[in-house]
């Protein structure tokens, strides 16, 4: 039996440590992991809890991230509660196996400390790795600070393990800005946290010898399509379960989460849409610019990146007062508009209000996103709103040295 861990009402934890504590309280059976900056302390923490008797679990050291996720799949198919952590290049190496996990409907939790993808090699935070997994069939939830890392890691188990969902869940936090920044965190007591998640109820587990089962079967053109459609339906329908789990979490802790967080949107004339730790900067900038210059700015932050909250994003955008929206992507777009721009614009297109929507690429490789820059972008959105069309290139780059870089101009006038 695992020892109880003494916790204070308020702890000073960084995002990684908060996440590792959530993993401990979930009483995970197996962690198969390979270390990579900046996510290493998550699994390092789990390893120390195992070694010191705070958890009855198995830490499996493997030779790569591909093997780490493969080990997680084996353990999850056997019938265990399983989690691991990774970042960046490790995440990229895991990608092949991410699709296996979701296709096999195994509710593994992957805690990601977001980091840029090489080349050039870079350990700092951006959302390249998170974006890389967006078609992998996983639920992707984004934490903006250390408290949220802890809270959402607990929620991740409860969401993925729900029998109507049975999908793996990624809990993202920004590398360094969240993963390594110590903040006040209010943890739950061990038994309260565990009871919130509940006992793991396996499905088709391989260790049930009375019902032998094959996992990971091959299907060709005759069956593959039906299985992928069923998987997609489960992912789309997980929206209701995510809402339900967030509601139960609020009941327990008073801390409220929504699939789309929004700030000051009721009367907003312009809005920023963005993810991760930048959300808090944008909200602060919006508050200041409202006071200083009277520009009514709101902020929209998809807490849930997959399933993409098309429904709630559209609700936020469908306001007659809202004139201009800037979608900010912290990932190199690779020859297209940013993913957030594409998806938000598509959702907005089916509304009556159809605000002007432009795109900023920002923060690549951990480039700072400061309040002054956030306010400059807000002023620019206000100029779009006043002119009635986008007055700059549709896609621009924030905080980039050298000549101005931008692409495409609007055809609306």
Partner 1 sequence: MSRGVLATDKRGIRELGAEEKVGWDEVTQGVALNSFVGENENAAFLKAEERNYNDFSSYTATVASWRIIKPVYNRDVCIDCQNCWVWCPDTSIVSRDKQMLGIDYDHCKGCGVCVEVCPTNPKSLLMFNEASDNDEELANWPAKEKKVK
Q: Which residues bind partner 1 (CB under 8 A)?
A: 103-106, 166, 203-204, 209-217, 219, 222-223, 225-227, 229-230, 233-234
The strand ranges marked E within 264-311 are 270-273, 297-302, 304-306
The kind and range of the H/E element at 359 are strand 356-361
Give the pairing of strands 139-142 and 169-174.
parallel
What is the closest distance, in whole angstroms, from the C-beta atom of residue 229 to partner 1 in the complex?
4
What is the closest distance, in whole angstroms, from the C-beta atom of residue 73 to partner 1 in the complex?
11
Q: Which residues pair with 359 in a beta bridge?
A: 327, 395
What is the closest distance, in whole angstroms, from the C-beta atom of residue 105 to partner 1 in the complex?
3
Per the CB < 8 A criterion, the answer to whether 327 and 273 are in contact is yes
Rounded Cα gap, residues 412 and 192, in angstroms: 55
Half-sphere exposure of 352 toward its Cβ, with a 13 Å CA cutoff? 3
Tokens 């609306």: give the residue.
412
Q: How many residues does the chain have?
A: 413
What is the closest distance, in whole angstroms, from the C-beta atom of residue 235 to partner 1 in the complex?
13
What is the closest distance, in whole angstroms, from the C-beta atom of residue 76 to partner 1 in the complex?
10
What is the closest distance, in whole angstroms, from the C-beta atom of residue 233 to partner 1 in the complex?
7
DSSP conformation letters of 59-91? EEE-SSHHHHHHHHHHHHHHT--EEEEE-HHHH
Residue nearer to partner 1 on the CB measure, 201 or 233: 233
Strand ordering across the sheet containing 260-263: 260-263, 297-302, 270-273, 324-329, 356-361, 395-397, 406-407
Residue 68 burial (10 A CB sphere; 0-12, 13-18, 19+): buried
Residue nearer to partner 1 on the CB measure, 237 or 256: 237
What is the closest distance, in whole angstroms, from the C-beta atom of residue 329 to partner 1 in the complex?
32
Residue nearer to partner 1 on the CB measure, 208 or 267: 208
Residue nearer to partner 1 on the CB measure, 212 or 403: 212
Residue nearer to partner 1 on the CB measure, 107 or 175: 107
Residue nearer to partner 1 on the CB measure, 206 or 332: 206
What DSSP character marks residue 112?
Answer: E
Residue nearer to partner 1 on the CB measure, 53 or 216: 216
Tokens 């069939």: give the residue.
137
What is the closest distance, in whole angstroms, from the C-beta atom of residue 72 to partner 1 in the complex?
15
Residue nearer to partner 1 on the CB measure, 71 or 107: 107
Per the CB < 8 A criterion, the answer to whether 289 and 375 are in contact is yes
């Amino acid at each position: 039996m695992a020892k109880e861990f003494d916790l204070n009402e308020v702890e000073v934890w960084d995002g990684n440590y908060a996440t590792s504590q959530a993993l401990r309280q979930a009483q995970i059976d197996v962690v198969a992991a390979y270390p990579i900056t900046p996510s290493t302390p998550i699994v390092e923490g789990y390893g120390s809890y195992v070694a010191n008797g705070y958890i009855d679990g198995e830490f499996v050291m493997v030779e790569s991230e591909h093997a780490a996720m493969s080990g997680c799949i084996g353990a999850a198919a056997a019938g265990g509660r399983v989690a691991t952590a990774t970042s960046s290049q490790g995440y990229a190496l895991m990608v092949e196996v991410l699709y296996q996990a979701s296709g096999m409907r195994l509710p593994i939790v992957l805690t990601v400390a977001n980091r840029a993808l090489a080349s050039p090699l870079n350990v700092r935070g951006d959302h390249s790795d998170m974006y890389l997994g967006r078609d992998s069939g996983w639920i992707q939830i984004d934490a903006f600070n250390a408290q949220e890392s802890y809270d959402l890691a607990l929620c991740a188990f409860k969401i993925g393990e729900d029998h109507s969902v049975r999908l793996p869940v990624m809990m993202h936090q920004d590398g360094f800005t969240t993963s390594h920044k110590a903040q006040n965190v209010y943890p739950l007591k061990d038994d309260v946290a565990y009871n919130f998640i509940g006992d793991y109820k396996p499905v088709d587990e391989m260790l049930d010898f009375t019902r032998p089962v094959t996992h990971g079967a091959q299907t060709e053109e005759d069956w593959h399509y039906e299985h992928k459609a069923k998987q997609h339906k489960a992912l789309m329908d997980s929206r209701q379960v995510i809402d339900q789990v967030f509601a139960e979490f609020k009941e327990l802790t008073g801390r409220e989460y929504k699939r789309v967080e929004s700030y000051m949107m009721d009367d907003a004339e312009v809005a920023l849409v963005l993810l991760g730790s930048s959300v808090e900067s944008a909200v602060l900038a919006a508050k200041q610019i409202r006071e200083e210059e009277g520009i009514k700015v709101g902020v929209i932050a998809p807490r849930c990146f997959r399933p993409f909250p098309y429904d709630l994003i559209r609700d936020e955008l469908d306001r007659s007062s809202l004139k201009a929206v800037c979608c900010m992507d912290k990932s190199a777009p690779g020859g297209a508009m940013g993913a957030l721009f594409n998806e938000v614009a598509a959702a907005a297109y089916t509304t009556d209000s159809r605000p002007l929507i432009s795109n900023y690429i920002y923060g690549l490789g951990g480039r700072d996103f400061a309040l002054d820059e956030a306010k400059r972008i807000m002023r620019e959105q206000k100029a779009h709103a006043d002119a009635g069309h986008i007055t700059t290139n549709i896609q621009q780059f924030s905080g980039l040295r050298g000549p101005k870089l931008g692409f495409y101009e609007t055809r609306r006038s």
